[in-house]
Structure 1
Amino acid sequence: MENLENEALNGHPNSSLAEKTNDYMIDVGFTKQEKNNYESNFEIQEKLEREKRIDEWLPITSKRNAKWWYSAFHNITAMVGAGVLGLPYAMSKLGWGPGVTILTISWIITLYTLWQMVEMHEMIPGKRFDRYHELGQHAFGKKLGLYIVVPQQLVVEIGVNIVYMVTGGTSLQKFHNTVCSSCKKIKLTYFIMIFASVHFVLSHLPNFNSISGLSLAASVMSFSYSTISWAASIDKGIQENVQYGYKSHSKAGTTFDFFNALGTIAFAYAGHNVVLEIQATIPSTPQKPSKVPMWRGVVVAYIIVAFCYFPVAIIGYLVFGNEVKDNILISLEKPKWLIATANLFVVIHVIGSYQIYAMPVFDMIETLLVKKFKFEPNKLVRFVVRNVYVAFTMFIAITFPFFDGLLGFFGGFVFAPTTYFLPCILWMAIKKPKKFGLSWWTNWICIALGLCLMILSSLGGLRRIIIEAKTYKFYSSTPSPSN
Structure 2
Amino acid sequence: MCSSTETEAGAGAGAGAGAGAGAEATQDSNRTARERNLENWLPVTASRKANWWYSAFHNVTAMVGAGVLGLPFAMSELGWVPGMGILALSWVVTLYSLWQLVELHECEPGKRFDRYPELGEHAFGKKKGYWIVMPQQLIVQVATDIVYMVTGGNSLKKFFELVFPSAGSIRKTYFITIFGGLQLLLSQAPNFNSLRGVSLLAALMSVSYSSIAFIASAIKGSQNHRPVQYGIRATTTAGTIFDIFNGMGTIAFAFAGHSVVLEIQATIPSTPEKPSSKPMWKGVVVAYLIVAFCYFTVSVAGFWAFGIGVDDDVLVTLSRPAWLIAAANLMVFIHVVGSYQVFAMPVFDMIESYLVKDLGCTPGLTLRIIARSAYVILTGFIGICIPFFGGLLGFFGGLVFASTSYFLPCIMWLILKKPKRWSFHWIACWFSIVFGNLIMILAPIGGMRQIIISAKDYKFFS
Please classify the TM superposition score into its range, dividing by the shorter chain length: over 0.9
Do residues 121 (structure 1) and 108 (structure 2) align? Answer: no
1:86-136 CA distance string (max 9 Å, x none): 000100111011011111110000000000000000010000000000000
Kept in 1, the 8 Å contact 2:348–2:372? The answer is: yes
Q: CA deviation at 1:334?
A: 0.5
Flag the 1:440–1:363 CA change in 2: closer, same or farther, 3 A. same
Distance in 2, matches of 1:229 and 1:132, equals: 33
Kept in 1, the 8 Å contact 2:157–2:168? The answer is: no
Distance in 2, matches of 1:469 and 1:87, equals: 22
Flag the 1:183–1:82 CA change in 2: closer, same or farther, 3 A. closer
- Which amino acid counterpart does residue 66 of structure 1 have in structure 2? A
**Which residue of structure 1 lines up, in the alignment, with residue 257 of structure 2?**
271
1:425 is aligned, of 399, 411, 423, to 411
Flag the 1:105–1:48 CA change in 2: closer, same or farther, 3 A. same
1:359 is aligned, of 308, 332, 345, to 345
- Which amino acid counterpart does residue 270 of structure 2 have in structure 1? S
Larger Rg: 1
**Which residue of structure 1 lines up, in the alignment, with residue 52 of structure 2?**
68
- Which amino acid counterpart does residue 151 of structure 1 have in structure 2? P
**Which residue of structure 2 lines up, in the alignment, with residue 198 of structure 1?**
182
Distance in 1, matches of 2:328 and 2:186, equals: 22
1:318 is aligned, of 278, 295, 304, to 304
Distance in 2, matches of 1:292 and 1:433, equals: 22
Q: CA deviation at 1:52?
A: 1.4
Distance in 2, matches of 1:277 and 1:108, equals: 22
> SS of the counterpart of 1:389?
helix
1:229 is aligned, of 202, 206, 213, to 213
- Which amino acid counterpart does residue 282 of structure 2 have in structure 1? R
Distance in 1, matches of 2:218 and 2:107, equals: 47
TM-score in terms of structure 1 length: 0.88
**Which residue of structure 1 lines up, in the alignment, with residue 158 of structure 2?**
174
1:445-476 CA distance string (max 9 Å, x none): 10000000111111100111111112111112
Report 1:74-473 matches (<5 A).
74-183=58-167, 185-238=169-222, 239=224, 240-473=226-459
Q: CA deviation at 1:372?
A: 1.4
> SS of the counterpart of 2:148?
helix
Distance in 1, matches of 2:209 and 2:324, equals: 10
Deviating beyond 6 angstroms after TM superposition, the runs of 4 or more aligned structure 1 residues are none
1:327-363 CA distance string (max 9 Å, x none): 0101110100000000000000000100000000000
Distance in 2, matches of 1:184 and 1:108, equals: 41
Distance in 2, matches of 1:190 and 1:175, equals: 14
Distance in 2, matches of 1:335 and 1:468, equals: 28
- Which amino acid counterpart does residue 213 of structure 2 have in structure 1? S
- Which amino acid counterpart does residue 171 of structure 1 have in structure 2? S
Give aligned pairs, total. Answer: 432
- Which amino acid counterpart does residue 433 of structure 1 have in structure 2? P
Flag the 1:377–1:431 CA change in 2: closer, same or farther, 3 A. same
- Which amino acid counterpart does residue 125 of structure 1 have in structure 2? P
Percent sequence identity over aligned pairs: 60
Distance in 1, matches of 2:108 and 2:164, equals: 58
Distance in 1, matches of 2:166 and 2:370, equals: 41
Q: CA deviation at 1:249?
A: 1.8
Q: CA deviation at 1:184?
A: 5.1
Q: CA deviation at 1:436?
A: 2.4
Kept in 1, the 8 Å contact 2:80–2:231? The answer is: no
**Which residue of structure 2 lines up, in the alignment, with residue 480 of structure 1?**
none
Of the structure 1 ranges 244-253 and 336-345, higher mean CA displacement relative to structure 2 is found in: 244-253
1:48-75 CA distance string (max 9 Å, x none): 1211111111001101110110000000
> SS of the counterpart of 1:313?
helix
- Which amino acid counterpart does residue 454 of structure 2 have in structure 1? E
Kept in 1, the 8 Å contact 2:258–2:405? The answer is: yes
Distance in 2, matches of 1:106 and 1:237, equals: 26
Distance in 1, matches of 2:284 and 2:90, equals: 16
Of the structure 1 ranges 51-60 and 178-187, higher mean CA displacement relative to structure 2 is found in: 178-187
- Which amino acid counterpart does residue 52 of structure 2 have in structure 1? W
